[in-house]
Structure 1
């Protein structure tokens, strides 16, 4: 890889003409028509406000419309949803025999699941003890981190609609399931608790219906903090106890009734996002973030975005760092926003002049979490993307360093092991493996290779398209965002690399 100094970055790009409104904007505008139409509008927001993009494999409502282009008005990249040709997955013995001196050890988890002939979204992964767990279509599977061996597999009655980003500290998750196996017309109204340590199914229940509506939610967003599951459905939200499924509290609307909770984020904090000023022009519409006590629902602090902007993706919940986008120009006008401990504005960073993209590999309107390609650690926010990676100081907002490749590979920061280093994953090409290296504060001149990925796994590694990349105990794991149900286009579910024991 060759680098140029941090001054390589191109000048700021001029934003294109205003893009068509997103599905969330259309749903929220309909909501503001009047009280007489409130029921219809809320249902519309449930259908269109949080829809996943065509081809991602999520169950889709019967009335959802598919358009030729995404809301931004330009082609939306789906690098992790398609592979150009069948992928040959070598077994563990073959990988070990083909490994060259200096290369990392690897294992690959293939996908034997019988899937519909479409791309099916992959949920997770969740790390529980020495296992990594994924949910795919109607199955949840745990693999041993050391060698990729399957530890347990649980078959679900219907496909997965949605899953939280984090599990509980003791390894439990609550999935939202569809009412049927149909791709269209399925409603997402069932909770299913699963113990990820054992693969045993726990309690199950239907999502409580809003008394003002005669139909359950179509799409929902969920998050877990401690033993609390927060659920946003339509333009309302509530919290449940993970251990037994009992309802804890309703998350209220505010200002008065003009800020409707519609997003949640979990982890060490429970955050609720709301869309505010629904009755005015979208240029005046804004987002509100609240931190809630996950046990009682008490509000710890509130934060609001400027008019005309909304909170889109949560990069970190502790400290709170999120991305904001313009209501009209969407991700062509995005920022990184850092908050203080009481929700006060700490710093706003504009990464666009340096060519960074918003949350690489994901679109908009699909929940607050996750934001791939951006991580926070040791007072820095590390931003990756197609052919570049850099680090900004959260205290000053200044770029400390940036590097760029010249072959179009994706660079993904996956952690900050110390205050002086950033761990970076460089994606594979169809014929060349990726690698993992550490960069110091000096940028390119401080590069130190951590893992040289094996050539025998290059094709399988490339097929995941770095949809999600994790660093777990010195091991790198990469997975696709979606898996093709076409047997001739299958790709592996997980590819893992670790230091070889010579």
Structure 2
């Protein structure tokens, strides 16, 4: 949320008190009066020891410089690149023209990927503690010293009623009708309808588990939504809540903390997580992420727990996805593997050789990123796989020197790369492929101009970016608005056929910033982060007219605004369906002060 220099108006509700409720809430939280849950919430190589799977804190958004005035001429056309001739000239980004990012793409990157810690920011007048920044940064360094991998995940939102989906600001997955996926071709069939009154009330909140140590960071990654259940990972468990009241319906104990959660569910309503192999004994204890657990979201029933071993050593993983009835895991140092979602049977697993699968993105299709060659000389490919057998249907080879690829959409297949000297800015170039794996076009996204994010070292973790209507939707960086002290941004789109901007411009409005959550047929479902004295919104944007329809607006009380400010919109788990918005964190740490109230999840509902 935008931080205002002036004080709030005199009619601003007083701090503290009810979380949008007219009377004092019960101790420990706001919203539904239930007690918080107790305790909170391929060449074969030996996997890394303790520390693998250490959760990584998201990177804080950077405040961009003011946008240049409209009418600034676009940059000169780029030359051919990435193996195809006559690259279309880069188009002006609707007020964000500038030089294209430097190339080449030849900078080698290590197997582990440290990132700067992210702290909540925005409304409610919160201030970041410098001490916390130092402590969190130290924890990340410690995790690297002990040889562990770093981890961060948020899953993608998809509702119960639509079979369309998109990569974007993610949460979990939708209902049993959801085939999952990372992208959609768009078309008609929008399911989300405007409620009679978009003014939302607080449905419930999930208090964050107690964290006593200053440098302790626990993982609570993963959330899923069906008609009957909102499920959220806690510490060493997953809890299923009644979506409208927040009452607990079931609790599923896990072997350890979650390292990753599937962004999708199977048609039968099955989701899956990767967890550490045992509970942590103390803040410095990190366990390998070797356990794969599948469960039924509506009932909370554990279906199976699986592992994969090479030469008697269990393989650790950092990512998990579902395509059809196949659960695919990747991100380890020995390639990927797949399980049958119903039985847990291993369908395929890492093979000895000079090549390995880096990771997978699921949904309507299963797409792999594969690398071959020695460290520093790797060559990457993007492949379409048969989910059951793991066999390759087609393969698109990336030019030598490109050492990363992030899947944005699986149908159509759209992936991005980040230039070698830019390590945490999302993607600087996106590629769309046709159904046969042939290159359609390349889209250049100048570094520093856009707000999307794709986690370093992850294949399936792009947020605030969506695919639909044969377009790529990307939010711009914040810039000055028209009002005093105001900030704003836009979503613009690029053609997946030509690589050029389409002319679409979805304005956030003065004082708001906007991020795509997912597609709803041909419409874009987007989250609008409001100014310090107004609630956040969910809007549906017509894919043709770009008309915005408000679906939901959160309360504007100080307590609600303060709670929402802890959910950074372009990195937290966002799920919207049927007039209900759920926001979830994937990491929890010690509050800044004893008076701070931290939440793992927030639920809002409109009539």
Question: Is TM more than 0.5 here?
Answer: yes
CA distance in 2, matches of 1:452, 1:174: 31
Matching of residue 243 in structure 1 with residue 342 in structure 2: yes
CA distance in 1, matches of 2:548, 2:566: 26
- Answer yes or no: is the 8 Å Cα contact 1:251–1:297 preserved in 2: no
CA distance in 2, matches of 1:408, 1:259: 49
1:278 to 358, 361, 374: 374
CA distance in 2, matches of 1:353, 1:296: 38
Alignment correspondent of 2:124: none
2:382 to 279, 283, 289: 289
CA distance in 2, matches of 1:16, 1:7: 18
1:492 to 592, 599, 604: 599
Matches within 5 A, 1:405-420: 409-419=512-522
Listed one character per residue, the Cα deviations across residues 223-260 of structure 1 (whole Å, up to 9, x for unaligned) are 2222222222313222222222222223557xxx4432
- Answer yes or no: is the 8 Å Cα contact 2:229–2:297 preserved in 1: no
Decide which moves more: 451-460 or 369-378.
451-460
Alignment correspondent of 2:361: 265
CA distance in 2, matches of 1:113, 1:429: 29
- Answer yes or no: is the 8 Å Cα contact 2:386–2:393 preserved in 1: yes
CA distance in 1, matches of 2:105, 2:255: 40
CA distance in 2, matches of 1:353, 1:235: 32
CA distance in 2, matches of 1:20, 1:396: 26
CA distance in 1, matches of 2:430, 2:413: 11
Partner secondary structure for residue 458 of structure 1:
helix
* Bigger fraction of residues in strand: 1
Gaps (5+ residues) in structure 1? 28-47, 68-78, 81-100
Shift, 1:433, TM fit: 1.5
Partner secondary structure for residue 134 of structure 1:
strand
Partner secondary structure for residue 330 of structure 1:
coil
- Superposition TM-score, scaled by structure 2 size: 0.62
Alignment correspondent of 1:364: 456
Change (3 A) 1:204 1:436: closer
- Answer yes or no: is the 8 Å Cα contact 2:200–2:555 preserved in 1: yes
Alignment correspondent of 2:110: 26
Alignment correspondent of 2:267: 169
Change (3 A) 1:196 1:396: same
CA distance in 1, matches of 2:145, 2:448: 41
CA distance in 2, matches of 1:251, 1:354: 37
CA distance in 1, matches of 2:492, 2:221: 28
1:480 to 585, 595, 602: 585
Matches within 5 A, 1:433-452: 433-440=535-542, 446-452=547-553
Partner secondary structure for residue 461 of structure 1:
helix
1:11 to 86, 97, 106: 97
Shift, 1:331, TM fit: 4.7
Partner secondary structure for residue 326 of structure 1:
coil
Matching of residue 208 in structure 1 with residue 302 in structure 2: no
Shift, 1:174, TM fit: 3.0
- Answer yes or no: is the 8 Å Cα contact 1:60–1:186 preserved in 2: no
Change (3 A) 1:258 1:410: farther
CA distance in 2, matches of 1:202, 1:60: 32
Alignment correspondent of 2:147: 64
Partner secondary structure for residue 238 of structure 2:
strand
Matching of residue 391 in structure 1 with residue 391 in structure 2: no
Change (3 A) 1:148 1:346: farther
Matching of residue 223 in structure 1 with residue 321 in structure 2: yes
Matches within 5 A, 1:447-462: 447-456=548-557, 457-462=560-565
Alignment correspondent of 1:103: 199
Change (3 A) 1:384 1:476: farther
CA distance in 1, matches of 2:370, 2:116: 22
Shift, 1:368, TM fit: 1.7
Alignment correspondent of 2:30: none
CA distance in 2, matches of 1:173, 1:8: 40
Matching of residue 380 in structure 1 with residue 471 in structure 2: yes
CA distance in 2, matches of 1:341, 1:370: 22
Partner secondary structure for residue 389 of structure 2:
coil
Alignment correspondent of 1:43: none
Alignment correspondent of 2:441: 347
* Bigger fraction of residues in helix: 1
Matches within 5 A, 1:71-90: none
CA distance in 2, matches of 1:441, 1:177: 39
Partner secondary structure for residue 599 of structure 2:
coil
CA distance in 2, matches of 1:353, 1:161: 29
Partner secondary structure for residue 316 of structure 1:
strand
Listed one character per residue, the Cα deviations across residues 454-479 of structure 1 (whole Å, up to 9, x for unaligned) are 21332222221222323313433332
Decide which moves more: 434-443 or 235-244.
434-443
CA distance in 1, matches of 2:351, 2:313: 21
Shift, 1:349, TM fit: 0.9
Alignment correspondent of 2:221: 123
Decide which moves more: 166-175 or 429-438.
429-438
Shift, 1:166, TM fit: 1.7
Change (3 A) 1:104 1:208: closer
Gaps (5+ residues) in structure 2? 3-66, 71-91, 118-135, 151-168, 171-196, 479-488
- Answer yes or no: is the 8 Å Cα contact 1:9–1:353 preserved in 2: no
**Count of residue correspondences:** 431
Partner secondary structure for residue 123 of structure 1:
coil
- Answer yes or no: is the 8 Å Cα contact 1:402–1:443 preserved in 2: no
Decide which moves more: 316-325 or 180-189.
180-189
Shift, 1:371, TM fit: 1.2
- Answer yes or no: is the 8 Å Cα contact 2:534–2:555 preserved in 1: no
Listed one character per residue, the Cα deviations across residues 251-287 of structure 1 (whole Å, up to 9, x for unaligned) are 557xxx44321211212222221123436x55xx442
Change (3 A) 1:417 1:380: same
CA distance in 2, matches of 1:481, 1:385: 24
- Superposition TM-score, scaled by structure 1 size: 0.74
Matching of residue 464 in structure 1 with residue 567 in structure 2: yes
For CA contacts below 8 A with separation 6 or more, give which structure has more relative contact order: 2
